[in-house]
Structures are given as C-alpha cells and as structure tokens.
Structure 1
Amino acid sequence: MSEFFGIKGKTFQRQYKNNLSEYHSWGQKSHAKDWIIYPENLSESLSLDEVALSDGELYTVLTSKRAKGRKGSIVAIIKGTQSDFVIAHLLKISRRLRMKVNEISLDIAGSMKRIAKTCFPCAAQVIDRFHVQKLALEALQEIRIKHRWEAIEMENNALAKAYGDQILKTEVFENGDSRKQLLARSRYLLYKSREKWTLSQRQRASVLFTHYPDLEKAYWLTDSLRKIYNQHITKSVAMTKLAHWFKNVEEADFTSFSTLRKTIMQHYRDILNYFDKRSTNAAAESFNAKIKNFRMQLRGVKDRTFFLFRLTKLFA
C-alpha cells in the first residue's frame, strides 16, 4: 500500500522513526549495534542461541523461556559469537541475578557452553535434543549423497560409452524412479519416521533399502536415536538406551555415525540433562523464526539499530 490515510508510506515511516516511536530517546541506541541487555527479563530458565539478523551477520541471543516468545523474551542480543565479547557484556548483568538461573538450553558449540558456564555458573546446561538429532540426520544424508554421486558417475560413464546417436537405456526401478532419481527423491523420506511416510514414500523406501541396505541400517540408527528422545524415560534409563545405541553404531561401522558417537560422548552429561525436565531450545528457535518473519515483513534490514529498537519494542 503506497499511501495510508493520505500519507505516503515512506513519509509515515520517517515520521514514526523520528517523532512517534521514541527511537531517538532509546537508552540503548548508542550501543545497540554491538549489544543490548534487559536484565529485568532474566528468569530461572534461559535459552542461548545464535541468529542472523541481516546479510548473514550473526548475533548471540539470550532469551527467557518464561516469556514463551512474547514480550519479555529478550534478555540480551550481542553482536557475533565470539565468547569473550559476549561474556564481557553478559557480565554487565548483576551477579545476584545471574546466580538465580538454574537451567540454560543451548547447542553443542563450545563457545556457547563457555558463555553459559562463565556467566551462569549455577545453571545446568541442557544440550538441545534437536541439534543432536540434526547431526544424526546429516550423518544419514551424507551416506545417501555419496551413493547419489556414484549414481551420477555411473550414468556419465554409460553416456561416454554410448555410440553416436544411440539412445542410452536407463535403468528404471519398479516404482518408476531411475537410480539417480531414487537417491535424489529419497531425501525427504529419510528425515521422517516410518509412521509418517506416504504410500509413495513407503514404496520408494522399499526400493531404496533393497538396493542400498547400508542406507536402511543408517536410517535405523537415526530413527532409534529419535525414539530414545521421544520416550518419557528417566535419565538412568536413557543412559542404558544410549549405551546400546553406541554399541549398534560401532557394529555398523559408518564413519559419520562414529564421529557423532564421539561427539555425544564429549557432551554426554549435558545431553542427558534433557531427560530431567525434557527442556529444549524450542523457545529460542521460535523466537529466531519470529525475527526472520519480522525481517521479511520489513523487506530486509536497512537500519540495523532501528530494526533492533523495533524488535525490543515487541519482545523486550
């Protein structure tokens, strides 16, 4: 809409920014590009994550779970992910308030763990389940992609051997996919549990696993890890189930899954903390999605400080 009640859109934007919004009297305006902090929004349970505000520029975002993605969510937004810089600004929050935090959800990144440990020493760190499952899915997809490149190379070699205008006869499986198509189109079904497959995905999976049994084994490893998280079990039971999963990974002997197993073992205690209260970083992911949606509505971020001001008006 180019005009609103007879006022041009751009004119109204300038009026809002310069006169109506209190932007120029905002107390954090001078340093907003580097950091903004709202200590009053601190709660016992927090989420720590990173988000790209504009042009891929990363910011570390600390949010309160108590606010559930609404007003009062933002505790801090700090430029970059460099731990020393983030820590220096989070320590501006009084120690008395920081010591009241008893749980903080985060991903596996070492910098995030260091930030949490230094700034919130009394808080139990909970590795977000979805980051662990994402690594398992990436390990599975790595095996599928390797087979797909092999299929592309097979097709290239067959074409190179074909003579003149001779039409190459392509191998087609019973569901109508060629080998290359089968491996490309199986991407999405491998992300889902068997119960959520459509009829065509069940048919495709049957063909895929018949011709690539290693993919079936890798899918089973991914799905069994997902099921451990989905069960309402105690931490001790989760320890036992993860021990069995580790044994299955060793027997499968996939490089990508062996690396994942080592990663889980490195962060074992914080991953198991999930089973105490089943806390996730879903609030942070939801907040990040809201930031992206807000950015899309504004058609990008031209003035980062003003964008952060408007963001805090909504969520701080």
Structure 2
Amino acid sequence: MTDLTQTLAPARPGLAGRLRLALCIFAVLAVVPPLAHALDEPFLIVVATRMMVFAIAALSLDLILGYGAMVSFGHAAYLGLGAYAVAILSRAGIDDLVLQLLAAMAASAVFATVTGAISLRTRGVYFIMITLAFGQMAFFFFVSFSTLGGDDGVALAARSTVLGMPLLQDAPGMFYATLALLVAVFAGLYRLTLSRFGRVLTGTRESALRMQAMGFRPFPYQLTAYVIAGCLCSVAGVMLANQAIYVSPAYMSWHRSGEMMVMLVLGGVGSLTGAMAGALVTIALEEGLARLSEHWRLGFGLILVGVALFSPGGLSGLLRRVGLVRDAK
C-alpha cells in the first residue's frame, strides 16, 4: 500500500526535471525553420513537422499505456479517423482546421467510448487482441471506402485554413501550427497526470484491486483516459493529413500502432517527456538511416535491441542514470 499512497499523494510544487527537459525540446524545435533557412535545407522543416505529429500521437498513447497499463494495438485507428475527418470535410467544403479538429475528436470520442467500454472488460493479451480487432475493423472499413480512394487513399486539394487564413499553406506555418498543438497537448497531459485523476489512473496501473479497496472504481477512470487518448491521437491525424496533403488507410494499420509503441520504448514508457523525445528520435533515426542504406531497418532494430538491453527505461531512464535529469518522468 505504500507505493499506492505515494502515487496518490499530491505532486510537489515547482518545475520537475521532465518539464524543464520538455521546455528545452520545445526551444530547440522552435529554431528549426530559421536554421533550415540558414542551411538552405527546407526539407528539415518537413521532417521536423512529421516528427512533431508523431510526438502528439506518442503522447496520447503514453497516457493509456504508460499511466494506465492499457496496451492498445489499435491506437492508430484514431490517427486515421483524424486524417479522414479532414478528407471528408474538405469534400463537403469545410476547410477550417478548427472545425476539422472538433469533428475528428468527436468521431474519435464516439469510437473510443464504444470500443473502450467493450475492450476494458478484458485484461492482458485479450485486451491487446480486442483493440487490435477494432483497429483492423476501422482499417478495412476505409479500405472499402471507394469514394475516398479505397486502399490507394486520396489526395487533398489543399491544406486547411485557420479561421479563414491560409496559415498552413507554407512549410513554416505548418511547422509552427503543429508545434503549438504539441505544446498544448503536452501541457494538458502534464496537468492531467499530476491531477487527482492522473494519480488514480497511475494507482490503477500499480494495482486495480488495491484501488478498489481504497474506494475507487478503475473502470470510469480507464475509459475516460482511453477516450482522451483517442481524441488527442486524432489531432495528430488531422495534422498528418495536412502535412502530407494525402490520406490513406495505412495511417490506421496495426503496423502504425506498433511504431508508436516503439517510440514509447525508445523514449521511456510512462514518461510524457520520454514519449515525446522517443517519437522525435525515432523519426529522425528513420530519416537519417534511410539516407545511409536501404537496409536501414536492420540498423534501427539493433538500436532498439541495445536500448532494451542496456537502458530498459529508454532515453528517460538513461538521463536519470547519468544524473542529467532527476525526474525524467
């Protein structure tokens, strides 16, 4: 009971190590466009934007996996729902990013509520398999959606507008809009995980039975976290569609869910800063290794093996071990 009591205790005031590290990451990201301009490498802005999109997705997954111990192999479904919300609304003449975000989150909330209420009645490998099944159902639904290109996907006519303004049309505008959403998602989850809700969710991860003995029903907390995670992942989907100006069912395949889990493993499960850093490093490694060799996946796999063997806590664990960050979570 001691661990649970500490988990439910109020967080200490002041800036934790994870928040300081996150601020450093945001500061570095903010200078990417002027740096890319100085180096005459505009592609860096495109890559960095993609990195931040998946950082948002990784943060959403970490809420349920790292804090709620819910291993979902269908989380990429919400990435696809966000992307297809852009495609469907664009065809209906609705190009405003705010409306598309709201529609994507609403659709994801409904899907997550229904599927989560069913999935959370299972545990362990059964939870993994049922979330995988729901994710694949969404995947094959859009594969058969012939009016939106089916398996080939569909190209968008243009990027979304923001309150009628074409802020996303150029690469720097797209970059800073994505950065703003990343900061907002991180800040929201940071406050949520430090709240009573977050502490109860973490306590449920440690021992659901003990939480019940303390008077908390785990199911409502887990379902709420599951819905929040789905909604936030759909935000990443909306931005991914705008960044690529293209939407495909491949966004919601189980392979994409697996890639998100790899990001968490690399950065550190149960650490918001680690999840964000893991996504940034994963995309950067993929881009960098792909330029070196067509067999880049072999090198990436060796890196993951090294992380699993020598730093099970990922980048967060490594930083804590060397003493650079006292509280990397």
Q: Considering the TM-score relative to the shorter chain, is it more than 0.5?
A: no
Higher strand share: 1
TM-score (normalizing by structure 2)? 0.24
Structure with larger RCO (C-alpha < 8 A, sep 6+): 2
TM-score (normalizing by structure 1)? 0.25
Larger radius of gyration: 1
Higher helix share: 2
